[in-house]
Amino acid sequence: MTSSLGPTHDSDIQQPFDHPGVQDVSAYRPDVQTLGEMDLSEDPSVTKEAQPVPIDEPPYSIYTGREKWAIVLISSVAGAFSPLTANIYFPAIPTLANEFHKSIELINLTVTMYMVLQGISPMIWGTMADRWGRRPMFMGCMLVLSLACVGLALVPTNAYWLLMLLRCLQAAGSASTIALGAGVIADIATRSERGGFFGLFSLGPMVGPCLGPVIGGALADGLGWRSIFWFLCIGSALCFVAMFLFLPETLRSLVGNGSFKPGPVWRPLVPVFGRGKVGSSSGRPPKRPFQNPLRLFLYFDVDLLLFYNAILYSVFYGVTASISTLFSDAYPFLTETDIGLCFLAIGGGMLFGSWINGSILDREYQNVKRKMERRCREDPECKVRVEDVTKDENFPIEYARFRTMPVYCAVYVACVAGYGWTLQAKTNIAGPLILQIIMGYCIICMMNTTQTLIVDLLPNQGSSVTACNNLVRCSLGAVCVSVIDLMVNAMGVGWTYVLLAGLCVLVAPLMFVIQRVGPRCRAKRRAEQ
């Protein structure tokens, strides 16, 4: 089977397969009962020895390893603006309430509207990026963000409506960069290396929750609240310039594996990536028809992943949103600056987890691959060629990605429950801070693992499916933030976080359901295609 974008690779094939967790595969191959009996040839009469071996197969991407890391790093910096723009704003909320002569609740409404646009806008930008390219959409996001920040820095204090409008515009520009970055990784990286690239890419978005409140508090205290938006304006403008100069187009329907030379809009001004290789292919990749991102919600395995990830994320958002309030109540000796520094604990855990988890994902993939290769060599009845085990119809990608997930989930649940009781008992401040570090590590590992698997399932719609993920998790996150204070007042801190931990326990079985139904769902998609 060949792809319209070039030769077949392990990252872009949609075919059914069997894996150790699924024994009955008769739903999509009635003549096959186990992996050892599976015949993967197009013609059942063709034996393993007679199947042709590809010769001089072009690489999945023309970029070298270093060039891929550099491209992902640029995308990661752009991705940092989504959470940074949201979190840097928090320390200035009391000041803005005084300046605009509005209540805290009305200023908090600008945060709620930001989260709404944060969930919706990637559905638009991500869909356009999957059709018209990553590079123009990236630059468009940075331009919109920069212009919105100029408006916010100059907004008059008697125009609350304009503050609300510009915050929505700011979210529309910044929130989509994570979805676009996920699409870039799907374009240039195969399954075997995506884990590491997602680990690096996630470092940028983790800077926002970690350093955003600290930077925002320092700027607001030292230079005034308007300096926050000038800082964001300058940063997003510099990122726009860097992308305009250096970032190449990676969308495979436009440039294939990078060897096709696209039009001027899609070419960087300074072509430092893929020198001597861009333009080596004369065949233009066929344009991909429009694909409605809402159709992704019709895929059962994708829905399970989105819901599972959204519950974990919403609990995490409830933890971070209540840090200021709960720490000021439990430890009244803390100043606002001290409370801002407390965010470094959970942010530091996320940074460390993002760095480590990428290599773990790649290692687990290779471990499962080696086991399957050894099985094919040792089983004389195995009809799968060793070099074909990583093809989508053979490889248990759900099992490979989720092997470590139960450990992360168990530790996360225990820390969430314990975190609430340490705050209620007003233990030494080191207690909740240590639990924050562990929670941050576990949540980013689970989110990165789920995000990587989602892109593995639909690599040709990497930005769109990431936008769907963002929409679902931000929606549930907004719900959790809106009720967390009510829960604390009604139940107390300890039982509130026990309830949140219980939600994670309720969705934990989905880890195993996904591994069970995933192969069948992918087989169904392949049949439809």
Are 35 and 46 a contacting pair, CB within 8 Å? no
Residue 233 lies in a domain: yes
What are 3's strand-pairing partners? 6
Residue 95 lies in a domain: yes
pLDDT at 32: 37
Cβ neighbours of residue 358 under 8 Å, at least 6 residues apart?
A: 195, 196, 197, 198, 199, 200, 202, 448
Boundary (domain end) residue, out of 237, 260, 290: 290
Is there a single domain that holds both residue 496 and residue 421? yes
pLDDT at 234: 95
Amino acid type, 57:
E
pLDDT at 173: 87
287: number of Cβ within 10 Å: 11
Boundary (domain end) residue, out of 246, 267, 290: 290
Integer Cα distance of 395 and 40 in angstroms: 12
Boundary (domain end) residue, out of 226, 255, 290: 290
φ, ψ dihedrals at 22, nearest 5°: -125, 115
Domain count, the chain: 2
Residue 387 lies in a domain: yes
225: helix, coil or strand? coil
Task: Return the structure tokens found at 454.
Answer: 């989602």
Residue 48 lies in a domain: no
CA nearest to 267, candidates 254, 280, 257: 254
Integer Cα distance of 415 and 402 in angstroms: 20
Integer Cα distance of 378 and 44 in angstroms: 22
- Parent domain of 320: 294-529
Residue 33 lies in a domain: no
Residue 46 lies in a domain: no
Amino acid type, 442:
C
Residue 421 lies in a domain: yes
Our measurement of the distance from residue 441's CA atom to the centroid of its chain's CA atoms, rounded to an integer in Å, reads 15
Integer Cα distance of 258 and 92 in angstroms: 44
Integer Cα distance of 146 and 237 in angstroms: 6
Is there a single domain that holds both residue 139 and residue 226? yes
22: helix, coil or strand? strand
Is there a single domain that holds both residue 271 and residue 335? no
Is there a single domain that holds both residue 197 and residue 328? no
Is there a single domain that holds both residue 88 and residue 232? yes
Is there a single domain that holds both residue 142 and residue 196? yes
Are 450 and 510 a contacting pair, CB within 8 Å? no
Amino acid type, 163:
L
Residue 199 lies in a domain: yes
pLDDT at 409: 93
Is there a single domain that holds both residue 319 and residue 362? yes
Domain containing residue 264: CATH number: 1.20.1250.20
24: number of Cβ within 10 Å: 9
What's the pTM value of the predicted model, to 2 decimals? 0.72
Instruction: Calculate the CA dihedral of residues 276, 279, 285, 289 and round it to 10 degrees.
Output: 100
Q: What is the pLDDT along the chain (529 residues), one digit of tens a residue?
A: 333 344 444 434 333 334 444 333 333 333 333 333 334 333 443 344 444 444 456 788 889 889 999 999 999 888 888 888 887 887 787 788 888 888 877 887 887 788 788 878 888 888 888 888 899 999 999 999 999 999 999 999 888 899 999 999 998 888 888 888 888 988 898 877 887 888 788 777 777 767 787 888 788 878 888 999 999 999 999 999 999 999 999 988 888 888 888 888 888 998 888 887 776 665 666 666 666 777 888 889 889 999 999 999 889 888 887 787 788 788 888 776 777 788 788 888 888 888 788 888 888 888 888 888 788 777 777 766 776 666 666 678 888 889 889 999 999 999 999 998 998 888 888 899 999 999 999 998 998 899 888 888 887 777 788 888 888 887 888 788 778 878 888 888 889 999 999 999 999 999 999 988 888 888 888 777 6
Is there a single domain that holds both residue 324 and residue 249? no
What are 6's strand-pairing partners? 3
pLDDT at 493: 87
Task: Return the structure tokens found at 509.
Answer: 């079985």
Q: CA 79, 350, 222 angle in degrees (round to 5)?
A: 70
CA nearest to 134, candidates 82, 78, 63: 78
Are 503 and 307 a contacting pair, CB within 8 Å? no
Cβ neighbours of residue 193 under 8 Å, at least 6 residues apart?
A: 68, 362
What are 19's strand-pairing partners? 22
